[in-house]
Amino acid sequence: MSIRQSLLALLSEQPRHGYELKAEFDRRTGHSWPLNIGQVYSTLERLERDGLVVRGDEDDDGRVVHSITTDGRREVQAWFANPVVLDNPPRNELAIKIAIASSMPAVDLTALVQVQRRASIATLQDYTRARRAADPDDLAWHLVIESMIHQTEAEVRWLDHCENAALRASHRARAARTARAAAAVEPQPTPPATTNPLPASQKSPR
């Protein structure tokens, strides 16, 4: 979706041919997600089908220049005016893996988290090196790489959280086992259920 909107935005500046669109897209996103020319042409075909661009004539080199239509301009304005909404957040393999692992006592969650943390930190080392090597005036590239640094940083913070949450859960489970064992040895009269309407998991701090 973002390729379609980006190409349309570039066409709202001036008519361009396919290769020129690819070069402009790559340059303005810091060459971080280079397009292949096939993607550009198939996107242009769909934009034409939807009445958002029109094809011009071939020039002497056989290249076709595309121009934006009024409907196309309206779509560009709408793109910039509205927030990007992830209706359906992409499936997060890591979150799923850790959720599954946390439900399996046989899996060492601490070790799993550390393997991931190390990989994330190594990735941050690479990103940071790339950022240092970049031309300070290349704002597009700077913004793109900072986006990745922030995401990776958030991932490490979330991993710390997973580890702490799992640790607290195992402390609670151990405390509950100890309490049950003590109760078995020396039965206590059970308090009336009404004095304690909350389940155990909601009573404990955090």
Partner 1 sequence: MSIVLELDNVTRSYGSGPTTVHALREVSLSVERGEFVAVMGPSGSGKSTLLALAGGLDQPTGGGVGVAGTELKGRTRDELARIRRRMLGFVFQDFNLVPTLTVLENVALPLELDDARTADALQQARHALERVGIAELADRGIDQVSGGQRQRVAIARAIIGDRRILLADEPTGALDTSTGDQIMALLRQLADEGVAVVMVTHEARHAGWADRVIFLRDGRLVDESRSDDPTVLLRHSNSRVPRRIFDPDVEA
Encoded one letter per residue, x for contact with partner 1 by CB under 8 A and - for no contact, window 48-67 reads --------------------
Beta bridge partners of 188: none
Q: How far is the CB of 155 from partner 1 (least distance, A)?
A: 8
Q: For residues 27 and 63, which CB has a smaller minimum distance to partner 1 in the complex?
A: 27
Q: How far is the CB of 11 from partner 1 (least distance, A)?
A: 22
CB 152 within 8 A of CB 123: yes
Question: Of how many residues is the chain composed?
Answer: 206
Encoded one letter per residue, x for contact with partner 1 by CB under 8 A and - for no contact, window 10-29 reads -----------------x--
Q: How far is the CB of 118 from partner 1 (least distance, A)?
A: 5
Encoded one letter per residue, x for contact with partner 1 by CB under 8 A and - for no contact, window 145-184 reads x--xx--xx--xx--x--xx--------------------
User: For residue 41, what are its two tokens?
Assistant: 């042409």
Encoded one letter per residue, x for contact with partner 1 by CB under 8 A and - for no contact, window 85-114 reads -----------------------------x
Distance of CA 176 to the CA centre of its chain: 38
Among 54, 65, 101, 130, binds partner 1 (CB under 8 A): 130
Asked if 3 interacts with partner 1 (CB under 8 A), we say no
User: For residue 26, what are its two tokens?
Assistant: 């790559």
The residues that touch partner 1, with contacts defined as CB under 8 A, are 27, 30-34, 114, 117-130, 132, 135, 138, 141, 144-145, 148-149, 152-153, 156-157, 160, 163-164
